[in-house]
Structure 1
Amino acid sequence: MNRKCMKKRILLTGVTGFLGSHLAKELLAAGNEVVALKRKSSSLHRVESIISEIDFFDIEGLDFDQFFRDCGKIDTIIHTATCYGRNNESVTEIFAANTEFPLRLLDAGSRAGVEAFLNTDTILDKYLNLYALSKNQLLQWGKFFSIHEKMRFANIRLEHFYGPDDDPTKFSAYVINSCLGNVPELRLTKGEQRRDFIYIDDVVSAYMVLLEKMDSFNSVFVEFDVGSGRSVSIREFVETVHRITASKTYLDFGALPYREGEVMHSEADITKLAALGWRCQYDLETGLKKVIEQERTKL
């Protein structure tokens, strides 16, 4: 990756998650200071190697204005924390995590003179589920703050990213772990949906490019798709994992119906990102081989 030393003070949310932990390591490697917000209950296993290099703050009971006064000048907020609703969270819990919490950061951060906010968004239609709706509501607030020149706002529409040590409930991780474990059967849809899969290192490098370029954008609100720029069918993805792992798992395509409102085609338009000098370094085969190699060591 490009590790140009930018030396900014970054407030990062979601640092204990899959994306946030990878991003924290690269931010530090590039010479930045990282301040992180987390829940008291969050596991730090993904950031064990860099714990001493990060200033952690727990969000429970946090006075956001006082936090910004106490923690020193923050140049940029990078928001990666999210609640997908996979653990039966209520409507209010999803709203609190995906809309209210980052909105409080936007509000207090703007008063504290934070220059930019990089937001992790979804490509899903806002009415598909509660997760997508709550993310879209934050986007509207981000546009408002940027229009009124309170803060620069970059919205990052992220495609399906994958990599080692991912959340096991995510589709890509579930398929990889199932094939590696040779589960007897994997029940799937027909797999005709097309998705844009992007390896985690390429995602992180995109964030680093955007962080570097934020001050040079003519508009106070910018939006970028982040993906490989190439979609493949779900069936092709699963069969590629199955082949690389030499799995004995039976792939039962068509055993499950498509979800209501299923997105049948998703592919990032990376033209704007490429114009900034970013390039996707991993094709699907290369990325999957890297993940599978690392996940095998845990068996």
Structure 2
Amino acid sequence: MKLLLTGGTGFLGRRLLPRLSAAGHAVTLLLRRAPARAPEVDWRVWQPGAAQPPFSAGEGFAGVVHLATCYGRAADSDAAVFAANLALPAALLAALGAQGGGVFVNADSYYAIDPPPGGAGNRYAVSKRCLRDWGRTLAAAHEGLRFVNLRLEHVYGAGDDHAKFVNWLARELLAGPPRIALSAGTQQRDFIYVDDAAAAFACVLAQAGQLPAGASEFGVGRGEALPLHRLVQCLHRLAGSRSELAFGALAPRAGEIAHSVADCGALKQLGWAADIDLEEGLRRVLAHERAAAGEVDSR
């Protein structure tokens, strides 16, 4: 299948790209800027608002995988959130529809729950919900256009941004401060290792011809809700840390989701399964952080 992939150089994209290539897909990366060195696959640069569409009907893309995202952190402008999470994927959906169809696989988030807890939610969540609704609308309007929404639970793994909780905590535990201030950690999450999440996308694309017309959605997680404090305690033990875990020292974030877990039944029926359990995933994160710090992992 000839595919266009956004976010292919990101945390999840770096795991997915080799899987797609190994499966025989012809992948073109859509990047925000020209790479410093040429990647091993075709690429092009396109920005939302550009005069030309991301691709034309004659190019024959059978599908788009949209991983690129803007989390709406403090430094991110409203325009940046809109461009990455709405304008770009909307243009790609329109291009697929104009050429007569194809499959659009979207990386959604458990954080974009509808209705959100405590109000409208943040910019990231709102933009994700808007794209999901837009994709469903266009899939209903364009015959042959399939919109496949993959609702990702808490994806983690070695090499992720240190702004992400698991990777931040791993680095803190290895540094060994006397005390680490935390919330109570009662919120429950479905933790899925990044390689298992990448395998879910590859599985959906392998079965794209069997998917129903219009819109469909798959939950991507292990199907197990775990209190955050249990993950923290597990990581603490695996790191061999002596730092005090000060649960309750921090107030919970406003609008925090109390419980989230994936319904993986439909995805498992396509042949997917999660292979990496929590302890193995956390060991990989710690090994990466030790290597980054120049330590030898003897565990």
Q: CA deviation at 1:71?
A: 8.4
Q: CA deviation at 1:63?
A: 4.1
Q: Distance in 2 between matches of 1:114 and 1:173?
A: 39
* Structure 2 residue ranges without an equivalent (≥5): 115-119, 294-299
**Tell me, what secondary structure is at the counterpart of 2:55?**
helix
Asked if 1:109 corresponds to 2:116, the answer is no
Tell me the percent identity.
38
Task: Identify which of 229, 247, 251 aligns with 2:245.
Answer: 251
Q: How many residues align?
A: 285
AA aligned opposite 1:75: A
Asked if 1:236 corresponds to 2:223, the answer is no
Task: Identify which of 76, 93, 97 aligns with 1:89.
Answer: 76
Q: Distance in 1 between matches of 2:254 and 2:192?
A: 25
TM-align CA RMSD? 2.0
Q: Distance in 2 between matches of 1:76 and 1:105?
A: 10
AA aligned opposite 1:153: F
**Which residue of structure 2 aligns with residue 284 of structure 1?**
278
Assess, with a 3 A threshold, how the Cα gap between structure 1 residues 52 and 85 changes in structure 2: closer, same or farther: closer
Asked if 1:138 corresponds to 2:131, the answer is yes
AA aligned opposite 1:144: T
**Which residue of structure 2 aligns with residue 175 of structure 1?**
169
Asked if 1:193 corresponds to 2:219, the answer is no
Q: CA deviation at 1:69?
A: 3.2
1:190-228 deviations in Å (ceiling 9; x for gaps): 011110000111111111111111211233211010001
Asked if 1:155 corresponds to 2:142, the answer is no
* Structure 1 residue ranges without an equivalent (≥5): 1-7
Task: Identify which of 255, 262, 269 aligns with 1:261.
Answer: 255
**Which residue of structure 1 aligns with residue 213 of structure 2?**
219
Task: Identify which of 57, 61, 64 aligns with 2:44.
Answer: 57
Answer yes or no: is the 8 Å Cα contact 1:10–1:74 preserved in 2: yes
1:82-122 deviations in Å (ceiling 9; x for gaps): 01112432323212221111101111232134511000111
Please, what TM-score do these two structures have when normalized by structure 2?
0.89
Assess, with a 3 A threshold, how the Cα gap between structure 1 residues 293 and 102 changes in structure 2: closer, same or farther: same
**Which residue of structure 2 aligns with residue 123 of structure 1?**
110
Answer yes or no: is the 8 Å Cα contact 2:179–2:245 preserved in 1: yes
Answer yes or no: is the 8 Å Cα contact 2:57–2:99 preserved in 1: no
Answer yes or no: is the 8 Å Cα contact 2:153–2:262 preserved in 1: yes
Asked if 1:207 corresponds to 2:184, the answer is no
AA aligned opposite 2:230: E
Assess, with a 3 A threshold, how the Cα gap between structure 1 residues 41 and 52 changes in structure 2: closer, same or farther: closer
1:231-288 deviations in Å (ceiling 9; x for gaps): 1111011111111111233321111111122111111111111111211111101111
AA aligned opposite 1:170: K
